[in-house]
Amino acid sequence: MPICIPDTLPAVDVLRNENIFIMPASRAKSQEIRPLKVLFLNLMPKKIETENQFLRLLSNSALQVDIQLLRIDQRESKNTPTEHLDSFYRDFENIKDQNFDGLIITGAPLGKVQFDDVVYWQQLTQIIEWAKEHVTSTLFVCWAVQAALNILYGLPKLTREHKLSGVYQHNITDPKAILTRGFDDSFLAPHSRYANFPSEIIRQKTDLVILAESNITGAYLMATKDKRMAFVTGHPEYDSFTLANEYFRDLHAGLNPDIPQNYFPDNDPKQVAHATWRSHAYLLFSNWLNYYVYQLTPYDLNTRDLTVD
């Protein structure tokens, strides 16, 4: 089944060119089916690019998914046209009385910014707390993981001295875990962050179950035992060229960035990098939609009690 998005969203043409089945909202209204309602809080600056990346992963499922785009506030974006935000995004005030099957909160380029200095910290805290009662399962990605660990568990901001940038090997910790069902015992995933997620701190200070980790990246994939929240510290949604774009952007800005590890062939930025993490990324999002959302969510979302046994 397809993802359902507005007919004129730029992602429609992008994904159709990749032979991904997109159902415009106009057709979805005629379907006698209860689609999953997934809220997508986009904190990344280049919102259209991020929409394409995540919608691509959400499309690889037998489930019909109705996507609602959400913005954190009304501030003007430097990288996304105001017309796009006004046309396709909703404000929290407009949806706070609704329930959703799933919520995805993206990363943000705030690795060196203290939580109290994040201009929308109060709004983000409100949304995360709201999700406990209004969302069946929430998926946090990269910086959103760091923010959620502070809001939900009181963990302080842990920052790496040098940016973690590249593609790294990770190991499954529980071969029977359903979120990693179908994963190889070890798999690749990209990272681009200053945030630090030491596995020992996660185990000592939270009740989260670590499902995948590595000695270099720390905890990569974590979840609550009731499956109501999942955490991905990397960027499985990245396109093959995203890390390259970030590297050359910082290079041209005079920041002297390190070359992303295990990314360019022969570690040579002049060569074209290829995605080596795509299959795991699709499987991760498919498993989350199936086992953490669809299998747990009530059929009637008007049911206020979203408690999972």
pLDDT 10s digits, 130-180: 999 999 999 999 999 999 999 999 999 999 999 999 999 999 999 999 999
- How far apart, in whole angstroms, are the C-alpha atoms of residue 236 and residue 242? 11
Does residue 33 contact residue 97 with C-beta atoms inside 8 Å? no
Residue found by looking up tokens 């390190």 in the block: 258
User: So what's the pLDDT on residue 166?
Assistant: 98
Question: Which of these is catalytic: 142, 191, 213, 280?
Answer: 142
User: So what's the pLDDT on residue 1?
Assistant: 45
- How far apart, in whole angstroms, are the C-alpha atoms of residue 126 and residue 144? 14
Does residue 96 contact residue 130 with C-beta atoms inside 8 Å? yes
- How far apart, in whole angstroms, are the C-alpha atoms of residue 64 and residue 37? 9
pTM for this model (two decimals): 0.90
Closest-CA residue to 196 (of 246, 241, 143): 143
Active site annotation includes 161: no
For each of the domains in the chain, give its residue range(s) and CATH number, in order of start. Answer: 3-239+277-294 (3.40.50.880), 240-274 (no CATH)
User: So what's the pLDDT on residue 11?
Assistant: 73
DSSP string, 277-293: SHHHHHHHHHHIIIIII
Q: How many CB atoms lie within 10 A of CB 8?
A: 12
Active site annotation includes 235: yes
Q: Which tokens go with 178?
A: 């359903």
Closest-CA residue to 297 (of 105, 35, 2): 35
The amino acid present at 227, given as its one-letter code, is K
Which bin fits 110, alpha (ψ -120 to 50), beta or left (φ > 0)?
A: alpha
- How far apart, in whole angstroms, are the C-alpha atoms of residue 27 and residue 25? 5
User: So what's the pLDDT on residue 121?
Assistant: 98
Report residue 69 CA to chain centroid gap: 13
Question: Which of these is catalytic: 4, 51, 170, 237?
Answer: 237
Question: Which of these is catalytic: 134, 170, 191, 235?
Answer: 235
- How far apart, in whole angstroms, are the C-alpha atoms of residue 80 and residue 202? 35
User: So what's the pLDDT on residue 74?
Assistant: 87
Active site annotation includes 142: yes
Instruction: Using 50 as the pLDDT threshold, list the residues of the chain that sit under it.
Output: 1, 28, 30, 308-309
- Provide the 3-class DSSP secondary structure of residue 133: helix
User: So what's the pLDDT on residue 246?
Assistant: 97
- How far apart, in whole angstroms, are the C-alpha atoms of residue 267 and residue 122? 41
- Provide the 3-class DSSP secondary structure of residue 36: strand
The amino acid present at 50, given as its one-letter code, is T
Does residue 152 contact residue 207 with C-beta atoms inside 8 Å? no
Residues in the chain: 309
pLDDT 10s digits, 14-33: 777 776 655 555 554 545 56
User: So what's the pLDDT on residue 104?
Assistant: 98
